[in-house]
Amino acid sequence: MIQVTPVILCGGSGTRLWPLSRTGFPKQFLCLTGNESLFQQAAQRLAALGSDSIQVAAPVIVSGEDHRFLASEQLREVDIALGSALLEPVGRNTAPALTLAALAAAQNGQDPVLVVTPADQTIAKPAAFTAAVQQAIAQAEQGNIVILGVTPDKPETGYGYIHTETSGSLAQQANVYTVQAFVEKPNLETARRYPP
């Protein structure tokens, strides 16, 4: 049985969605699609990853102090227990948040697979998402670090680009590739040079 600890990154301030999103109530806690907030949807997607071979623990959230009670209440509303809340004194983006989560997961001598997701995504095809993440979990259990991506339909400066190898042992599997490089938020000129 593969032990999975979900980690939800919900420390963003949601400034790009102002005036709907505010400092005290950022976009991840808003109901933009459906009756649940983006954060609640993320928690439910992660809880749904369980299977005969995957056991999913209660989620770990990484958030700022200002949103700890809001996150806890929103989890309660969708009947998901909070595993733990890691509170950042100051938001420092993804890498420090992931480091906190990894250190917390290893504290009791355990080594679960961490499935990390931002709290502010909308997933149009939840069944496809679940299948992709379950495939990623199987790869991670074998000692790999796994990242999910989509093929861009236009040059984009707000996201990262994953450059993959198209040959090798992993490429023999459906939609699984070895990462050669990752470029975080390239400028427009650089993004235009990348193949679609």
Each residue of 65-124: pLDDT tens digit?
Answer: 777 888 889 999 999 999 988 887 766 678 888 888 899 888 888 899 999 998 888 888
Phi, psi of 48 (to 5 degrees): -80, 0
Each residue of 14-40: pLDDT tens digit?
Answer: 556 555 555 555 667 777 777 898 899
Residue 95's Cβ-count burial label (10 Å; 0-12, 13-18, 19+) is exposed
In this predicted structure, what is the pLDDT of residue 68? Answer: 81
Q: Locate the domains of the chain by residue range.
A: 2-146, 149-196
In this predicted structure, what is the pLDDT of residue 55? Answer: 96
Query: Looking at domain 2-146, does it have CATH number 3.90.550.10?
Result: yes
Query: pTM here?
Result: 0.84
Distance CA 51, CA 134 (A): 9
In this predicted structure, what is the pLDDT of residue 96? Answer: 83
